[in-house]
A = this chain, B = another copy of it.
Amino acid sequence: SQPHRIAVIAGDGIGTEVMPEGIRVLDAAARRFGIGLQYDHFDFSSCDYYEKHGKMLPDDWKAQIGGHDAIYFGAVGWPDKVPDHISLWGSLLMFRREFDQYVNLRPARLMPGVTAPVVRRDGSPRQPGEIDMIIVRENTEGEYSSIGGRMYAGTEREIVMQETVMSRHGVDRVLRYAFEVARSRPKKHLTSATKSNGIAITMPYWDERVEAMAREYPDVKVDKFHIDILTAHFVQRPDFFDVVVGSNLFGDILSDLGPACTGTIGIAPSANLNPDRRFPSLFEPVHGSAPDIAGKGIANPIGQIWCGAMMLDFLGHRQAHDAILGAIESVLEPGSQAPRTPDLGGTASTTELGQAIADAV
């Protein structure tokens, strides 16, 4: 069969350091499971590219990467070179929209060897397996809209407005995806993030669509929480949650907060999916380009590697996904002799940790 065509965009900062490790582990999994992978590397969607060309992407970027099966992405952004809203709306946020990646998927899972900053009610530590949730975020509309503007600029009467936009099409498709994910898991529990008591126009609509969709999934247990108290529950009883679905903004917040509660924000992956497969999906670690540690060769590559596992899963290779995740867990395991990067309390380099995971695969 044809190899999968992967567009590789390492981007900025530590993106360029963790990417080789991601590929190293992908190659190990590909060998073990007989998967064909073909990589094409691109230098655009980085602030260095912007400094050279005055834009984040070449004019024909869609032709260059639109035919690939997936985009394997490092990190973008370097505020000292290019302001975030330019670098991000000019690359990552553009990919999400133009490739209609309407689902952003992020697991938050307590891993062995990682101390979670949230404890049980009695003060005792939470154990691996105890927290295992997945956040499903709407990724193309909602609060991240391009409609709005400013009037009476520069005066005391200055006013700025921005529209939140929710469409039936946009809301229903991400809800359907979330219900399907919930149905596929043992707990079959879906939590919807809302704020219909305060944001009283768009959010009641969101609730309405959740209720309508719930009637099609009688086997899925559904509840909803307002976003304020939901963040409190993430801290107080993260073990309660299974699949959590939210609008673009609420999903953004919860998919940082969830991994923070499991202590994995530095190693968490995320997938920007076009489930229709008309366009490539994009896989990127949650961490950014980390200018403070870039160039030192000490960045933890696990986020990038975990993303690779999600990518293989999406491309139909569930076993390879599980093998990579198992390898990550085995090197994190408290007893393991595997090298550790400084953030994990060791002195190993990015490459040493990447190599150890590749070997474990």
Q: Which A residues lie at the B interface, using CB under 8 A?
A: 84-85, 88-89, 93, 115, 117-119, 121-123, 125, 143-144, 146, 148-150, 155-169, 195-202, 204-205, 227-229, 231-233, 235-236, 248-249, 252-253, 255-257, 259-261, 265
Cα(A232)–Cα(B116), bound, Å: 12
Contact B249 A198 (CB under 8 A): yes
Contact B202 A161 (CB under 8 A): yes
Contact B201 A235 (CB under 8 A): no
Q: Which of B160, B166, B231, B249 contacts A195 (CB 8 A)?
A: B249
Q: Which of B119, B162, B163, B169 contacts A119 (CB 8 A)?
A: B119
Q: Which residue of B lies closest to A229 (CB)?
A: B256
How many protomers of this protein does the assembly include?
2
**What chain B residues lie within 8 Å of A161 (beta carbons)?**
163-166, 201-202
Cα(A84)–Cα(B194), bound, Å: 13
Cα(A166)–Cα(B159), bound, Å: 6
Cβ distance A270 to chain B, nearest Cβ, rounded Å: 12
**Interface CB pairs A-B, < 8 A, 15:** A93-B198, A115-B121, A119-B119, A144-B200, A148-B201, A148-B202, A150-B205, A156-B169, A158-B167, A160-B167, A161-B164, A163-B163, A164-B164, A195-B249, A231-B257
**What chain B residues lie within 8 Å of A160 (beta carbons)?**
165-167, 201-202, 205
**What chain B residues lie within 8 Å of A123 (beta carbons)?**
115, 119, 125
Cα(A236)–Cα(B196), bound, Å: 29
Q: Which residue of B lies closest to A233 (CB)?
A: B260
Q: Which residue of B lies closest to A253 (CB)?
A: B228
Cα(A235)–Cα(B261), bound, Å: 7
Contact A256 B228 (CB under 8 A): yes
Contact A149 B201 (CB under 8 A): yes
Cα(A162)–Cα(B160), bound, Å: 14
**What chain B residues lie within 8 Å of A155 (beta carbons)?**
168
Contact B252 A253 (CB under 8 A): no
Cα(A205)–Cα(B158), bound, Å: 10
Cα(A28)–Cα(B187), bound, Å: 51
Q: Which of B84, B150, B168, B196 contacts A158 (CB 8 A)?
A: B168
Contact B265 A232 (CB under 8 A): yes
Interface centre among A150, A155, A161, A261 (most CB of B within 10 A): A161
Contact A231 B204 (CB under 8 A): no
Contact B231 A256 (CB under 8 A): yes
Q: Which of B158, B165, B252 contacts A198 (CB 8 A)?
A: B252
Cα(A232)–Cα(B236), bound, Å: 14
**What chain B residues lie within 8 Å of A119 (beta carbons)?**
117-119, 123
Contact B227 A253 (CB under 8 A): yes
Q: Which residue of B lies closest to A115 (CB)?
A: B123
Contact B257 A235 (CB under 8 A): yes
**What chain B residues lie within 8 Å of A157 (beta carbons)?**
167-169
Q: Which residue of B lies closest to A169 (CB)?
A: B156
**What chain B residues lie within 8 Å of A163 (beta carbons)?**
148, 161-164
**What chain B residues lie within 8 Å of A196 (beta carbons)?**
84-85
Q: Which of B118, B122, B162, B200 contacts A118 (CB 8 A)?
A: B118
Contact A252 to B265, CB < 8 A, known contacts A165-B159, A201-B160: no
**What chain B residues lie within 8 Å of A235 (beta carbons)?**
117-118, 235, 257, 260-261
Cβ distance A216 to chain B, nearest Cβ, rounded Å: 16
